[in-house]
Structure 1
């Protein structure tokens, strides 16, 4: 007998299967997966443990702290002795009173009185017998001890006078130590330390909540855990580091733009709070470092190269320190440098450091053109093959002639490199070995133009100078020609677009607007959170360094004054 098939029911079942929702996310899909190359491996050792300079600084601080504390208390020994002498009667009274209470078992008196109040005769008799046994033993020990002390006193009376007085002084000092009030310590404080609160997740979330960012406030209102932390908050050098994942739609640049409010929310000085964007992770990853001390007022170490006899431009040279106090280095070869800020914030000082490094390299040639005419770079006149310092057209014309010669020099060097065999010059660029061969003429050539806006905005020289500078920047990088430009007026007229767009390394100190910020640090730098506009009046010498490392860095340059630079040259 054939089975009857209900075709209508079968078609309905197929229809239900087709219309069922398809689950596109499995449990494994929504769980974070470890993808090769996608993880961020934290260093095995903290950075401060791998820094020789940090170790030296810590050792120097410990020795200095110990030496200061020793001297502080040494000169106060007479004061401490007087305090102990005044407190010795109280110490003697405490010994006598304590001995009396111990000898007659007065500490058990409240328990015996409680037994009397309860009229518990059996308990009282037992406690009294225990007290009598204790008193007999303790009185015997006290009498024996007193006899021994009397004999010792008789023996001490036979000692020389200086020994008697020394022992008497020790006894008085000991009694003074026993008589010290609990609320009045004997020693004064040699160092008054600042109380810096620990950075916690609650403190960070509270500070982010006062920034006035709608994305953060709305996310926190819906979920108190909307702000995430990619790693535990830890000590990082002289401060605390927090890796923060901001709520969806909020970028690190928005927080950086409100650095003053963030510092207010954290209850810390503005110079202690340094938020940075971690673009290599995602735009919403914020790295917040909160220092113990204001960066603007912290002690800056001496420039390390001042103790060096020579320098090698093919190696990175020390340029400054970051907020954590770590040395920041900069490469000068195969790049060019643009420095910009408003007047008076360390632009010329920042330019002086690479020039002094070049002066210490015996294979490098230095040209210096200072178009302000104040002589800030005059020490370099001792070592510069070309030097001009003036606010008139003579110095600007000298800089223009130098750019013309640089353009010719680039062409000549390109011909020399092209004629070298591949075994000698495999990458078609100047190497340390080639730079040291005088016969080739490929030595490093470092040319600095301070206040370059005076040249580029010149009605007669400006257009040609801008075109030449752009050519030199593009061609000279591989030819051992390094161009250093510094300006206090970064705008389109004073800094040609072709120049600002091709410079590889940039250092922006304080500026007042996002247009100037992007002229120095690169297009969209302000939008991406790289902002020299966040620096305030006290942040002299502090700027954003772009191009010297994979990520932008906040750097406080080393300070080399005029006489020191003169001695170095």
Structure 2
């Protein structure tokens, strides 16, 4: 046993003092008689056990993501089948071309085969060596090579005799065989000779799919790209240690691109790298749309997850919406909203949240707001309201499944939106009273649950969408009250099953009240032009934190930042449905609501008498001195003209009935008789109506002739 006496073992004692000096520091304020203060104790320096490290480690998924998701699996299989079918069809169409190339190359291939065989038979490949021995006058070596050649030629000649005999026998059998055998043999010979005779730089088959060549992502490439970002923390760390940037996991393929997990040097955050995304893309030598850095805050603010795609996100073909063929859905469950840069499906939830969508015009707001609306439409137990203040009819296909619907850029539509918000406010109060009376075992959390939404009358999901809502909130007469009502509904409605969806192309303080934007739980921002608009949609300090929708380019249509659907902000490319696709989905939703008995609005059947005389009656109630007339005025006059036919006619029904004849509503300035003030409302032109009647009569005359 080693002794503890320093006199008996001076060497051990000195070593102990040296080890102690390595792990302790003398505190500058410590009293000498108290001895040294232990700062870095041996227990603190002891390495963490393997079990604890493994326990905290991130487990990689056993099954790839595209196999865990049914939608992604179907998409991948469909892509594989489509790719195979395309390649097969591409080459099948070019079979005559390939046959001609083989026929032209067959003689050259036959000569190559015969020439090669003769060289092999006569051992001509060794002729150069034998000639070299002759030039060096090495008789012994030449004799050895000559004997070797004689042996080779002898047994190769025997093989040739057997081969010739076999060919003669085969030719004899082929001569007495059916004719199609002759063609098969000729085809096989042409194919073999044509393949052999093909030039090395001119392959037989054309390229059906041109795959882009993308350089592999390596640690050296990532390190070099990070070093050119002009981040002081990175440059100083690399100057001290060339390996200051760590890679905790191997760089691997992840979907249609590469994934690199990077540990930045101490003091450097992921936000600093994201601020210089354009420089990072330049350092990697890739297009900006291919480079998508993001953080992993669960590990560290300096853990960078860098994904580099094979092609820009906006250039890739978007997969179809997984719910495109669904008959019904459960609105309480997350639904597919879009895909991230890696092609993974991003889901969004509707219950217990509200949605705000913002961008400059033309970047996919209406297409984005349609997706949650279609989800609500496909749930036969959910109620849908829709108000479109642009007046272009972008949401018209959803009208058949909406309990409330209005479309227009006039005061009447804005007033209808305000009235809808008043009804929603009253609906929230009514639902709160219902929930208050429910027993705790039925409603323990005092909020609408999916079970309550289906079981209790009056607590069903209610989704109200307001597209181009800035026209309502910025309205000089209705805007202030609308903003106050929307704020109250957003605060109270999330627990009561009332959900607001808002889309705006002008996210500023006037067009989007602060109380509305500050309380929305889920936000989606497509391309915007400034920091103010970015933070109005995505939340205060979003721009400063690196969540910047200003980085999206002109070609990034449908691509935006989604905040609130997950713990971290996500870059999402929304699914896109064209007009006919939306119509088909709405038809299935309409049928599902009819079957469930929950259809709250049905298109009124147009009377035959109205359809036959509508144009003439409308023209008859417009005076000759009136070039333009409001729709409201026409409805009043038509109802007075023929109450039994036009008594229940509404403005929307009149506009829809005139539309097939090419008569579109337009802005008409007039004087309101009730107030005596001027107003701008929707109406029609008398000349357009007269032209439509003349055109219809002309077509009828042509058909009669």
TM more than 0.5 = yes
- Distance apart, 1:450 and its partner CA: 1.9
Does the alignment pair 1:541 with 2:565?
Answer: no
Deviations 1:420-446 (A, max 9, x none): 1112112211122222235x3111111
Hey, what does 2:274 align to over in structure 1? 256
| Residues 31, 514 of structure 1: alpha-carbon distance in 2 compared, 3 angstrom cutoff | farther
| Alpha-carbon distance in structure 2 between the residues aligned to 1:245 and 1:324 | 21
Hey, what does 2:374 align to over in structure 1? 356
Is the CA contact 2:71–2:322 (under 8 Å) kept in the aligned structure 1?
no
Deviations 1:91-137 (A, max 9, x none): 23223322332223333334444444554444433333333233222
Is the CA contact 2:251–2:259 (under 8 Å) kept in the aligned structure 1?
yes
| Alpha-carbon distance in structure 2 between the residues aligned to 1:229 and 1:218 | 18
Hey, what does 2:429 align to over in structure 1? 411
Hey, what does 1:196 align to over in structure 2? 214
Structure 2 SS opposite 1:256: helix
Structure 2 SS opposite 1:182: coil
Does the alignment pair 1:532 with 2:549?
Answer: yes
| Residues 148, 359 of structure 1: alpha-carbon distance in 2 compared, 3 angstrom cutoff | closer
| Residues 102, 457 of structure 1: alpha-carbon distance in 2 compared, 3 angstrom cutoff | closer
Structure 1 SS opposite 2:323: helix
Within 5 Å, give how 1:46-445 maps onto structure 2.
Answer: 46-437=64-455, 440-445=457-462
| Residues 524, 38 of structure 1: alpha-carbon distance in 2 compared, 3 angstrom cutoff | farther
Hey, what does 2:506 align to over in structure 1? 489
Structure 1 SS opposite 2:380: coil
Within 5 Å, give how 1:9-24 maps onto structure 2.
Answer: 22-24=38-40
Structure 2 SS opposite 1:284: strand
| Alpha-carbon distance in structure 2 between the residues aligned to 1:37 and 1:177 | 59
Choose from 578, 582, 585 the match for 1:568.
585
Structure 2 SS opposite 1:156: helix
Is the CA contact 1:276–1:529 (under 8 Å) kept in the aligned structure 2?
no
| Alpha-carbon distance in structure 1 between the residues aligned to 2:256 and 2:151 | 62
Choose from 471, 487, 491 the match for 1:474.
491
Is the CA contact 2:561–2:571 (under 8 Å) kept in the aligned structure 1?
yes
- How large is the Cα RMSD of the aligned pairs? 2.6
| Alpha-carbon distance in structure 1 between the residues aligned to 2:564 and 2:122 | 82
Is the CA contact 1:320–1:328 (under 8 Å) kept in the aligned structure 2?
yes
* More displaced stretch, 125-134 vs 384-393: 125-134
Does the alignment pair 1:521 with 2:503?
Answer: no
Does the alignment pair 1:462 with 2:479?
Answer: yes
| Alpha-carbon distance in structure 1 between the residues aligned to 2:33 and 2:144 | 91
| Residues 36, 110 of structure 1: alpha-carbon distance in 2 compared, 3 angstrom cutoff | closer
Structure 2 SS opposite 1:87: helix
* More displaced stretch, 399-408 vs 496-505: 399-408
Is the CA contact 2:72–2:345 (under 8 Å) kept in the aligned structure 1?
no
| Alpha-carbon distance in structure 2 between the residues aligned to 1:376 and 1:134 | 85
Does the alignment pair 1:559 with 2:558?
Answer: no
Hey, what does 1:5 align to over in structure 2? none
| Alpha-carbon distance in structure 2 between the residues aligned to 1:456 and 1:133 | 101
Structure 1 SS opposite 2:576: coil
| Alpha-carbon distance in structure 1 between the residues aligned to 2:152 and 2:446 | 99
Hey, what does 2:629 align to over in structure 1? none
Is the CA contact 2:463–2:500 (under 8 Å) kept in the aligned structure 1?
yes
Structure 2 SS opposite 1:131: helix
| Alpha-carbon distance in structure 1 between the residues aligned to 2:55 and 2:124 | 75
| Alpha-carbon distance in structure 2 between the residues aligned to 1:173 and 1:19 | 94
Deviations 1:357-385 (A, max 9, x none): 11222111222222222222222222222
| Alpha-carbon distance in structure 1 between the residues aligned to 2:304 and 2:460 | 43
| Alpha-carbon distance in structure 1 between the residues aligned to 2:360 and 2:471 | 15
| Residues 464, 74 of structure 1: alpha-carbon distance in 2 compared, 3 angstrom cutoff | closer
- Distance apart, 1:20 and its partner CA: 5.5
| Residues 457, 240 of structure 1: alpha-carbon distance in 2 compared, 3 angstrom cutoff | same
Deviations 1:277-329 (A, max 9, x none): 22333322222111122221222222222311222211112211111222211
| Alpha-carbon distance in structure 1 between the residues aligned to 2:153 and 2:53 | 79
| Alpha-carbon distance in structure 2 between the residues aligned to 1:359 and 1:55 | 26
Q: Structure 1, unaligned stretches of length 5 or more?
A: 1-13
Q: Structure 2, unaligned stretches of length 5 or more?
A: 1-29, 587-705
Structure 1 SS opposite 2:475: coil
Structure 1 SS opposite 2:300: coil
| Residues 359, 148 of structure 1: alpha-carbon distance in 2 compared, 3 angstrom cutoff | closer
Of structures 1 and 2, the one scoring higher in RCO (CA 8 A, sep 6+) is: 1
Hey, what does 1:3 align to over in structure 2? none
Structure 2 SS opposite 1:474: helix
